[in-house]
Amino acid sequence: MPRSRRVPRVPVDGGQFGPAQAERLLWRAGFGPRAGEAERLAKLGLDGAVRSLTRPSRERFVGPAPVDDDKRPLAPYDAWGHDHLWWLDRMVRTSRPLVERMTLVWHDWFATSNDGVGSQRLMLDQNKLLRSRFLGSFEQLILAVTSDPAMLLWLSGNENDRDSPNENYARELMELFTLGAKRGYSERDVREQARALSGFRNDWSNGKGPHNFRFDPRRHDEGRKRIFGKTGRYGWRDACRLCVHHRSHPSFFVSKLWGYFIPTPPPAATRAALERVYVRSRYAVRPVVEAILRSPRLFEGPRMTKPPAVYLAGLLRATGRGVDTEAWTWLLDQAGQQLFRPPNVAGWNDERWLDTATYLARWNLAGRVLRPVALKTSSPAPADADALVKRALAFWGTPDLTADTRRALHAFAARALADANQSWKKTQYPPLIENALRHLIAVSPDMQTA
C-alpha cells in the first residue's frame, strides 16, 4: 500500500497561560485589558481564552457614551474627525475586542481612505461591512468589498466600463488583497481582470453626492477573457473567485494575516499547516485566527509595536475613561494613524510607528489621558520610592514590565524624592512624582509594545 502523506499540524502553545500571557493576548487580539481582565481571562486557560475572543457573546458597551469637546453627542456622518472618534469609542467600550481588532485589520488590508472617497457615510458603511464579516469567509468578504461603494470610488471601480477598462482595482485585487506582488499573475491577467470587473456605476447629485451604486450589465464586457490560463466569459464575481482559488492565495493570506498578530514570519511547517486549515475550511478566517492565537510564537516571540489607535484605546480602557474630547483625532493623526484615512492603498506601514515625531505624539497622548486624574500637590502619597512605583503600576492595572523598566522607574522616584530637601517639598513632591511615574509607565517601551 502507498505510504500515507503526513499532514502538518499547527503548533499549540503548551506553556504557562497566566495573567502575563493573557495580557499579551488581549493586546494582540484586542486593545489591552481593563482592570482585572487579564486575571479573569487567564482562569479560562488558553483554549477558553481564545474561544472567548473568537466566539464572543452578545456585544455590550462599558463606560460613558462618547461626546465632543462641548459634551454633545458625536456626529460621525458629518463633523470632521467624528467618524474617527466614533470608531475609537467602539474600541474602548466594546465587550468584543477581537471584532473591532479584526475590523481594523480588514481596514488596513483593504485600505480605503476618505481622502479619496469623500463621504464619511460611505466609509462608515464600509466599516460596518468589515465588522459584519470579521471572521467569516474570506471569499465572501472579497466579494462584498469589491462591490462596496467606498471601494468602487477609491479604486475607480465605478469608472471601469467595457469601452474604457480601468485597471486600478484589478491590479490591487491581486497585488495587495489576494496574491501578493508579482506572485502568479501577469500584466495580461491585470488587463483581463479589469474587463471581468467592468460594469459598476453610480449616480451623483449636489444634494446626495455619489449614490445609487449598482452593476449595469450594459457597461460590462461580456466577451471571453483569459485569466490565470483559464478562459471564460468571466464577470466580477468570477474575478474574485479566481483569485481566492489561485494556488498562490493561501500562502499569501496566511502570511499576511499572521503578520497582524506575530511580528516574525511563520516557520515553513506552520505556514503549510495553516494553509491546509484555511483551504479545508473553504477559506474561513476563524480557524486560521484561532490557530494563530494559540501559537507558541505569539507568546514566546518578540514584542510588537502597538499601532497608535490600539495604544490609545488601551490606555483609555485601562483607566476607565471614555472618548470625551476631539483631541484624540488630531493627536492620533500626529502619531501616524487617523482612522478612515490610511496613507495609501497599501495601508499603514507598521515599521514606521515609532520615530522622533510620532513618539512625541504618543507622549502627548499619554499626558492627555492622564490629565483629568492627575494628583494635586495636596493629595496624599507615600514618600517612599518602592511604594510610589507600586501605586503607579497599580493605576495601570500592574502591567507586565521588564526588570530594567522597573529599575529605571525606581531610580527616577528615588532621585526625585532625594531632591525634597525642604518640608514643603516633602509634602508636595510625592504626588507629583507619582504623576510622573504614571506617565513614564505609559510611554515606556513595555507599554509601547506587547
Q: What is the pLDDT of residue 5?
A: 47
Q: How many domains does the chain have?
A: 2
Whether residues 36 and 169 share a domain: the answer is yes
Are the beta carbons of 319 and 369 closer than 8 angstroms? yes
| pLDDT of 284 above 50 | yes
pLDDT score at 412: 98
pLDDT over 70 for what percent of the chain? 98
Helices (H), 17-70: 19-28, 37-42, 45-54
Phi/psi of residue 209, nearest 5 degrees: 70, -150
Domain contains 160: yes
Mean pLDDT of 165-182: 97
Q: How far, CA to CA in Å, does 116 sit from each of 75, 165, 285, 329, 345? A: 20, 20, 29, 19, 10
In which band, very low, low, confident or very high, does the pLDDT at 4 lie, cut at 50, 70 and 90?
very low
- The answer on pLDDT for 39 being more than 60 is yes
Q: Encode 331-373 in three state secondary structure.
A: HHHHHCCCCCCCCCCCCCCHHHCCCHHHHHHHHHHHHHHHHHH
Q: What is the mean pLDDT of residues 276-300?
A: 97
Sign of the C-alpha dihedral, residues 427, 431, 437, 443?
Answer: negative
CB 316 within 8 Å of CB 62 = no
- Mark which of 300, 322, 340 sits at the end of a domain: 300
Domain co-membership, 387 together with 262: no
Whether 326 is in a domain gets the answer no
Domain that holds residue 152: 19-300
State the CB neighbour count (10 A cutoff) for residue 74: 20
pLDDT tens column, 102-112: 999 999 999 99
Mean pLDDT across 380-405: 96
Q: Which among 282, 300, 318 is the end of a domain?
A: 300
> Do 287 and 164 share a structural domain?
yes
* Domain presence at residue 306: no
Which region holds residue 397: left if phi is over 0, alpha if psi is between -120 and 50, else beta? left
Q: What is the pTM of this model?
A: 0.95
Q: How crowded is residue 445: how many other Cβ atoms within 10 Å of its Cβ?
A: 14
- 292 assigned to some structural domain: yes
Residue 101 cell numbers, joined: 481588532
